[in-house]
């Protein structure tokens, strides 16, 4: 049976829903950020200390672009100052997630409102990110004390932190950011994908020789399974890597990595939290579907520019099928009570007997799930990317 695609009417209805919920949330999250995931359907209001706090301001900028209502830009502007303070005071920035934090909150603000504080903060965040580059192994160390043997690794998620570096080079004219992004991408592509195009979540390098050591997982089910969101970061990350480099190898790799993800989807197209599960009642991760939809739309526009129209049509159609699945089974309706996220059935970190994660946000809304849903809906209508 042919899968249904999100229609334009449904896209507009979904945006209307999302924007109504975001508007209702404004009083709670103007001077406070949203927690990474909801707890029983509600986001705790927290200080700006998580790796995820850029997504809510990103949603505000997307709401602004869709409505031209200055209230969204005003509140997003308050967050620019908060993010500037965070990087200046180096608060909770000893990790690699500067792109997830500063691209949707500050690169966006610079692009939309030419906010100089946003530009300054985002460049400082890029400096912070490149401070984690390890010459031995040529990668950005994800977590922990720099150089520590038990943390001498990168994670596939980092592909989404790299657009901040490409942006910083083009803004400043200094190639150092871009060069590090290129080196990290090469390392990631050499090690993170297996022969069947599934992916390792984390990958250790040898601190003495710089040689690749082994793949492991933190949030996936086990080391040799494929964590759904890791695969999704891989799909979107490769599409973005192609746009920023023009290296055809990345677009060629995007295709089988995408196919692996699609082949593991259950009938309703909402991935289980790890792609080792293809049926049964394990929790889903709807955020992976929206992230992959963004990756497909990104790749579709690259294929279009290359004149490869069949592929452009194919990935645009697949993106709309994934979004229709999220619309049908996960979208929060604006009338719903007791829930203040945009998309249900996300999973942040599910504990398994084999992984090392701290359990959090299983079958809840997750802030990046809300954000990439909004981004995908906006992209479908035509959008200038800040990634």
Active centre residues (catalytic): 97, 157
- Torsion angle, alpha carbons of 144, 146, 149, 151, to 10: 30
Least Cβ distance, residue 157 to ligand GLY (angstroms): 4
Q: Interface residues with ligand GLY (CB under 6 A)?
A: 157, 219, 229, 348
| Residue 285 · residue 271 · CB < 8 Å | yes
Encoding tokens for residue 304?
């279009």
Q: Output 169 or 367, the one with its CB closest to ligand GLY.
A: 367
Least Cβ distance, residue 363 to ligand GLY (angstroms): 15
| Residue 296 · residue 302 · CB < 8 Å | no
**What residues does 331 pair with on adjacent strands?**
343
Least Cβ distance, residue 2 to ligand GLY (angstroms): 31
Alpha carbon distance 100, 38 (integer Å): 19
Q: CA dist 233 to 95, 210, 239, 334, Å?
A: 17, 24, 10, 29
Determine the distance from the C-alpha atom of residue 135 to the mean position of all C-alpha atoms in its chain, rounded to a whole number. 26
- Of the candidates 147, 140, 129, 30, the one whose C-alpha atom is nearest the C-alpha of residue 87 is 129
Q: Output 158 or 325, the one with its CB closest to ligand GLY.
A: 158
Q: Output 348 or 373, the one with its CB closest to ligand GLY.
A: 348
Q: CA dist 380 to 120, 300, 373, Å?
A: 30, 11, 11
Q: Output 36 or 76, the one with its CB closest to ligand GLY.
A: 36
Alpha carbon distance 353, 355 (integer Å): 6
| Residue 263 · residue 306 · CB < 8 Å | no
For ligand GLY, the nearest residue by Cβ is 157
Least Cβ distance, residue 219 to ligand GLY (angstroms): 6
Alpha carbon distance 384, 186 (integer Å): 26
Least Cβ distance, residue 117 to ligand GLY (angstroms): 26
Q: Output 327 or 348, the one with its CB closest to ligand GLY.
A: 348
Q: Name the DSSP letter for residue 104.
A: I
C-beta pairs of 16-20 under 8 Å, 24+ apart in sequence = 16/334, 17/331, 17/332, 17/333, 17/334, 17/342, 18/59, 18/63, 18/342, 18/370, 18/373, 18/374, 18/377, 19/63, 19/66, 19/67, 20/334
How open is the CA angle 364-370-374, to the nearest 5 degrees?
Answer: 155
Least Cβ distance, residue 348 to ligand GLY (angstroms): 6
Least Cβ distance, residue 218 to ligand GLY (angstroms): 9
Alpha carbon distance 277, 113 (integer Å): 44
- 201: alpha, beta or left, given left = phi > 0 and alpha = psi -120 to 50? alpha
Q: Output 66 or 225, the one with its CB closest to ligand GLY.
A: 225
Q: Output 165 or 312, the one with its CB closest to ligand GLY.
A: 165
Least Cβ distance, residue 229 to ligand GLY (angstroms): 5
Q: Output 161 or 321, the one with its CB closest to ligand GLY.
A: 161
Encoding tokens for residue 222?
């086990």
């Amino acid at each position: 049976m042919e899968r249904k695609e999100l229609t334009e009417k449904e896209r507009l209805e979904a945006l209307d829903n999302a924007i109504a919920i975001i508007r209702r949330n404004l009083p709670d999250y103007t001077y406070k950020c949203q927690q990474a995931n909801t707890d029983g359907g509600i986001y705790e209001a927290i200080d700006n200390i998580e790796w995820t706090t850029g997504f809510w301001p990103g949603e505000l900028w997307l709401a602004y672009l869709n409505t031209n209502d200055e209230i969204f830009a005003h509140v997003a502007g308050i967050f620019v100052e908060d993010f500037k303070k965070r990087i200046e005071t180096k608060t909770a920035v000893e990790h690699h997630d500067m792109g997830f934090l500063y691209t949707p909150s500050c690169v966006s603000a610079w692009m939309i409102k030419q906010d100089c504080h946003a530009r300054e903060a985002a460049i400082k965040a890029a400096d912070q990110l490149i401070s984690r580059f390890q010459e031995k192994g040529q990668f950005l160390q994800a977590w922990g004390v720099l150089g520590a043997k038990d943390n001498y690794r990168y994670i596939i998620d980092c592909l989404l932190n790299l657009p901040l570096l490409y942006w910083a080079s083009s803004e400043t004219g200094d190639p150092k950011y871009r060069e590090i992004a290129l080196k990290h991408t090469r390392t990631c592509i050499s090690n993170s994908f297996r022969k069947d195009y599934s992916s390792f979540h984390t990958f250790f390098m040898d601190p003495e020789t710089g040689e690749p050591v082994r793949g492991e997982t933190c949030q996936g089910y086990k080391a040799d399974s494929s964590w759904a969101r890791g695969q999704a970061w891989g799909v979107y990350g490769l599409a973005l890597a192609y746009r920023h480099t023009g290296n055809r190898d990345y677009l060629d790799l995007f295709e089988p990595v995408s196919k692996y993800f699609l082949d593991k989807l259950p009938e309703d197209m909402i991935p289980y939290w790890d792609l080792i599960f293809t049926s049964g009642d394990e929790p889903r991760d709807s955020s992976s579907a929206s992230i992959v939809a963004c990756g497909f739309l990104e790749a579709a526009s690259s294929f279009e520019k290359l004149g490869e129209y069949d592929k452009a049509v194919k990935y645009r159609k697949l993106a709309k099928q994934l979004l229709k699945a999220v619309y049908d089974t996960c979208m929060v309706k604006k009338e719903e009570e007791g829930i203040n996220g945009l998309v249900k059935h996300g999973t942040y970190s599910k504990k398994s007997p084999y992984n090392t994660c701290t359990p959090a946000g299983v079958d809840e809304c997750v802030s990046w799930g809300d954000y990439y849903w909004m981004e995908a809906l906006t992209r479908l209508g035509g959008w200038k990317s800040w990634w």
